[in-house]
Structure 1
């Protein structure tokens, strides 16, 4: 499907071996087609040639994360680099928070999602994942407020509505037992 685009980017790299954008786009295609290791290689090369592009670091992190749990620490490192090069990137903070969450580092995830929400207070995915982190930590009231805010911002967000309803049910059952 992407054969012509792949050939064009490979030709561009042949002509200009330090062309970061060609590596980036080639990595994106490989990632989209499920060729994770090739994507990782391309994103690494793109970051070598343009180390100040947060999107490259984010996509490298995403590719590493999709390669499996044994690559999660490397993914988190890539997300940290994205935050370092663009401290105003909501996506860098969001992905770093998700990486921490995958590692079970809930306090780090919470702080990082909060940083994403400072940049964009209406970013529902960060709100939802912040709610999950709070819930996993046992802070049901904080989790509920995140889910309700996400649902308020995006009424069609079924996962947020379901999570909020589940917490309300838990709280109702606890109150009935008291």
Structure 2
């Protein structure tokens, strides 16, 4: 068996990559550091060590290593993309864009567009983010992240039908709880209350501690006149996060139909217990007023 002391730089890189990909970051780091003792400044080893340090959230050390890698190979596209990611994580957004702009002169990889879009998201530049996410989706029509972000951006600019189209596509392959939640918000705004309830239920199936989704589920069920279902959802939300009480109490008296509790503590007890609401006074609210 070949010992570590007999391995050359390329062999160490291969072993370190295998360790990193298997989730053994400690072994990957040890192999990179061993290689750099023998081959100081080796661009591949510096790059890989930067990736390990980035995965461990040691951003200053990751930046130092990726800069060393780029000093040896300034046009290396994967290293430039990683440098952009590290800079974005540090909040150095202009520097991140510069790395990616340099990478774009060498390659048309979709990862470059992805990182640019994420940077514009982080800088709250909705127009620029939307333009680049559109480019991402044109380059990769199956990009769920692009569909989800374009849906969210469309909703934020007041285009719910467009938003629903993107988000429907994003969740088609099961979806992430955040994507289902955004779809619920869009459908709720469109007064598609039953469809919104379905979306919020998906959130709670995947993320049972999502108190905000439980509150919103209660709201849309209440809008459909399903008060028992709404109370069950509100109870779930309150047990997950008691700070939701104010929103729940307001929702109970602001929908077209609701219930009124004159005793706040009684309502808290009902929500905490998850039991039906005996003795609650039905309250009819005319939503047209």
Please tell me the TM-score bracket, short chain as reference.
0.7 to 0.9
Q: Secondary structure at the match of 2:171?
A: helix
Establish whether residue 35 from structure 1 lines up as the match of residue 119 from structure 2.
Answer: no
Q: Secondary structure at the match of 2:191?
A: coil
Which residue of structure 1 lines up, in the alignment, with residue 111 of structure 2? 21
Which residue of structure 2 lines up, in the alignment, with residue 140 of structure 1? 227
Which residue of structure 2 lines up, in the alignment, with residue 172 of structure 1? 261
User: Which structure carries more helix by proportion?
Assistant: 1
Alignment equivalent of 2:147, drawn from 49, 57, 70? 57
1:106-117 mapped onto 2 (5 Å cutoff): 106-117=193-204
Which residue of structure 1 lines up, in the alignment, with residue 47 of structure 2? none
CA distance in 2, matches of 1:74, 1:10: 30
Q: Which runs of 5+ in 1 are unaligned?
A: none
TM-score (norm 1): 0.80
Alignment equivalent of 2:102, drawn from 11, 27, 47? 11
TM-score (norm 2): 0.52
Q: Which runs of 5+ in 2 are unaligned?
A: 1-91, 263-279, 284-289
Kept in 2, the 8 Å contact 1:90–1:120? The answer is: yes
Which residue of structure 1 lines up, in the alignment, with residue 217 of structure 2? 130
Deviation at 1:88, TM superposition (A): 4.3
CA distance in 1, matches of 2:105, 2:200: 40
In structure 2, relative to structure 1, the CA distance for the partners of 1:28 and 1:176 (3 Å cut) is closer
In structure 2, relative to structure 1, the CA distance for the partners of 1:176 and 1:126 (3 Å cut) is closer
CA distance in 1, matches of 2:282, 2:231: 19
Alignment equivalent of 1:161, drawn from 245, 259, 278? 245
Question: Per-residue displacement from partner, 1:80-129 (whole Å, max 9, x unpaired)?
Answer: 11112x31422222221111112221111111212222333332232122
Alignment equivalent of 2:186, drawn from 89, 99, 103? 99
Select the structure of larger CA radius of gyration.
Answer: 2
- The count of corresponding residues between Structure 1 and Structure 2 is 170
Deviation at 1:50, TM superposition (A): 2.7
CA distance in 2, matches of 1:94, 1:49: 26
Which residue of structure 1 lines up, in the alignment, with residue 60 of structure 2? none
Question: Per-residue displacement from partner, 1:11-53 (whole Å, max 9, x unpaired)?
Answer: 3233222x22322222222223232121111111112223333
Establish whether residue 72 from structure 1 lines up as the match of residue 166 from structure 2.
Answer: no
In structure 2, relative to structure 1, the CA distance for the partners of 1:54 and 1:148 (3 Å cut) is same
